[in-house]
Amino acid sequence: MRTSIALFTRDLRVSDNPMLYAAVAGADRVVPLFVLDPKLPTPPNRAAFLLRCLTDLDDALRDLGGALIVRHGDPVTEVSRLIAEHGVSDVHVSADVSGYAQRRQGRLEAIPGVGVHVHETVTTAAAPGSLTPTGGGDHFAVFTPYLRRWQTAASRIPLPPPSRITIPEVESAGFHDVASGEGLPAPELAEGGERTGRALLSEWVDGPVAGYADGRDDLAGDRTSRLSPHLHFGTLSPVEVLYRVGRDSQGAREFGRQLAWRDFHHQMLAARPRTAREDYRPRGDRWRDAPEELAAWREGRTGYPIVDAGMRQLLREGWMHNRARMITASFLTKTLYVDWRAGARHFQQHLVDADVANNQLNWQWVAGTGADTRPNRVLNPLRQAIRYDPSGDYVRRYVPELHRIPGAAVHEPWNLPVPERRALTYPDPVVDLADGRQRFLSARNA
């Protein structure tokens, strides 16, 4: 009797999961395994989301006749143990790109006596490394040529869930305590799990995606898909998302372009795992050490309402609108000239969708040490606010101290008449925008 292990990682779903599908198709019995590795930091928001994903995956596997087997410890050690205990012949795992994932994959492949199968297009739509520039090189460093290749690359058809799973008698450790950090999850955290992800996707495809091209920068309108945590944990398949969204409307095509950004960052990290910590394009920065300004930024009290609204959305929901991520990240790395790594760490701590590829490389993009072809652009938070939150509703939603200020006036509380200004419990700006911009440009041009 042939037994295989389906090692779940960031692919916590039964639908369109080539890793699970192949494991079931190639064996009589399968151990659907998830290993909680204490070495991987899982802050409260991601831990809470992950717990829901695991519960939901267990339910889905039980409906198919199986169950999720959970172990705690080093994944390779746990896999080796199961191989010895159950005479396993094959191990299936999805390809992934971080240094951690690449090391795990290498160690799995080194286990003697078993077939290790690494499946592509499970965590990304295009396999990292499968698209390379015509001029040579192992990855694309600029998005537009990558997009052109990505759009014409063949894509596979999504797979159904396996029809039945038979598992051997295996002990499971359960999955109650997955958080590795202190603190509680954000009060308005999204709900994890494949069922929730699929419901969200269906709603998105049935309507809002058509308006995505016009609505994606509308901060108050909240008109993006919010699928990012599901793509991060793999409760949704990027291949299936693209397949279902199609290319019929301008919104659908623009949405597809965002998923290409996701793949783009994954292929960069796959080729250069050290960019999780090191500048992709070093600019000779000598970042400022400014602990008080950094603390004000983290807590959403910089005195710039649009920046503070974004930072407080992060604390309240464990998620932030993309436009707000760009504004807050530019404010930290350029206006305050603080190291992108400090910002990326804070985002990693709170974002439910935080992943090494998208977080670190978007931070580098904004800081101008990554793939941005205009690395010294500085976003002016006021101009951004007037353009992307013209009604001021986004700011009033997240900065309650300012909720009485009507319209766009909320973006410039310093212009209020003195008595009204004094009555506010809202801080003065931590920096003058023009000074901050000048300091950054001088440093970069030095």
Binding site as annotated, residues for FAD: 212, 224-228, 255, 353-355
3-class secondary-structure state, position 210: helix
Least separation in angstroms between CB 38 and ligand FAD: 22
Any contact of residue 354 with ligand FAD (CB under 6 A)?
A: yes
Q: Which range in 27-35, 90-98, 243-251, 352-360 contacts ligand FAD by CB under 6 A?
A: 352-360
> Which residue number, 30 or 189, has a Cβ lying nearer to ligand FAD?
189
> Which residue number, 228 or 302, has a Cβ lying nearer to ligand FAD?
228
Q: Give the contact letters, 84-113, x = binds to ligand FAD (CB under 6 A), - = no.
A: ------------------------------
Could you tell me if 312 and 399 are in contact, meaning their C-beta atoms sit under 8 angstroms apart? yes
> Which residue number, 140 or 175, has a Cβ lying nearer to ligand FAD?
140
Which of 196, 358, 369, 384 binds ligand FAD (CB under 6 A)? It is 358
> Which residue number, 34 or 143, has a Cβ lying nearer to ligand FAD?
143
Any contact of residue 55 with ligand FAD (CB under 6 A)?
A: no
Any contact of residue 355 with ligand FAD (CB under 6 A)?
A: yes
Alpha carbon 254 to chain centroid, angstroms: 18
Least separation in angstroms between CB 94 and ligand FAD: 16
Could you tell me if 159 and 243 are in contact, meaning their C-beta atoms sit under 8 angstroms apart? no
Any contact of residue 395 with ligand FAD (CB under 6 A)?
A: no
Could you tell me if 136 and 105 are in contact, meaning their C-beta atoms sit under 8 angstroms apart? no
Taking the CB of residue 187, how many other CB atoms lie within 10 A of it?
9
Taking the CB of residue 433, how many other CB atoms lie within 10 A of it?
16
Which of 363, 388, 394, 398 binds ligand FAD (CB under 6 A)? It is 363
Any contact of residue 10 with ligand FAD (CB under 6 A)?
A: no
Least separation in angstroms between CB 257 and ligand FAD: 9
Taking the CB of residue 46, how many other CB atoms lie within 10 A of it?
31
Q: Which range in 14-22, 29-37, 319-327, 374-382 contacts ligand FAD by CB under 6 A?
A: 319-327
What's the CA gap between 262 and 252, in Å, rounded?
16
Six token digits for residue 362: 């978007």
3-class secondary-structure state, position 338: coil
Neighbour-count burial of 74, counting CB atoms closer than 10 A to its CB (0-12 exposed, 13-18 middle, 19+ buried) = middle
| Contacts to ligand FAD from residues 320-339, by CB under 6 A | 322, 325-326, 329
With residue 33 as reference, give the H or E element that holds it.
strand 29-36
With residue 397 as reference, give the H or E element that holds it.
helix 393-398
What's the CA gap between 340 and 366, in Å, rounded?
9
> Which residue number, 133 or 208, has a Cβ lying nearer to ligand FAD?
208
What's the CA gap between 92 and 122, in Å, rounded?
12
- Closest by alpha carbon to 27, among 91, 111, 108? 91
Q: Give the contact letters, 214-253, x = binds to ligand FAD (CB under 6 A), - = no.
A: --x-------xxxxx--xx---------------------
Quote the strand ranges of 61-205, DSSP E.
69-72, 90-94, 115-119
> Which residue number, 133 or 215, has a Cβ lying nearer to ligand FAD?
215
| Contacts to ligand FAD from residues 364-393, by CB under 6 A | 366
Least separation in angstroms between CB 210 and ligand FAD: 13
Task: Specify binding-site residues.
Answer: 212, 224-228, 255, 353-355
Six token digits for residue 267: 């292929």
- Closest by alpha carbon to 7, among 36, 43, 28? 36
Least separation in angstroms between CB 254 and ligand FAD: 9
Any contact of residue 353 with ligand FAD (CB under 6 A)?
A: yes
Which of 351, 379, 399, 410 binds ligand FAD (CB under 6 A)? It is 351
Residue 4's DSSP bridge partners are 30, 90
What's the CA gap between 80 and 112, in Å, rounded?
10
The string of DSSP letters for 141-167 reads SSHHHHHHHHHHS--PPPPPPPS----
Q: Which range in 153-161, 296-304, 306-314, 357-365 contacts ligand FAD by CB under 6 A?
A: 357-365
| Contacts to ligand FAD from residues 258-287, by CB under 6 A | 258-259, 261-262, 265
- Closest by alpha carbon to 95, among 85, 104, 86, 87? 104
Could you tell me if 193 and 52 are in contact, meaning their C-beta atoms sit under 8 angstroms apart? yes
> Which residue number, 226 or 288, has a Cβ lying nearer to ligand FAD?
226
Number of residues that bind ligand FAD (CB under 6 A): 28
Residues interacting with ligand FAD, by CB under 6 A?
216, 224-228, 231-232, 255, 258-259, 261-262, 265, 322, 325-326, 329, 347, 351, 353-355, 358-359, 362-363, 366
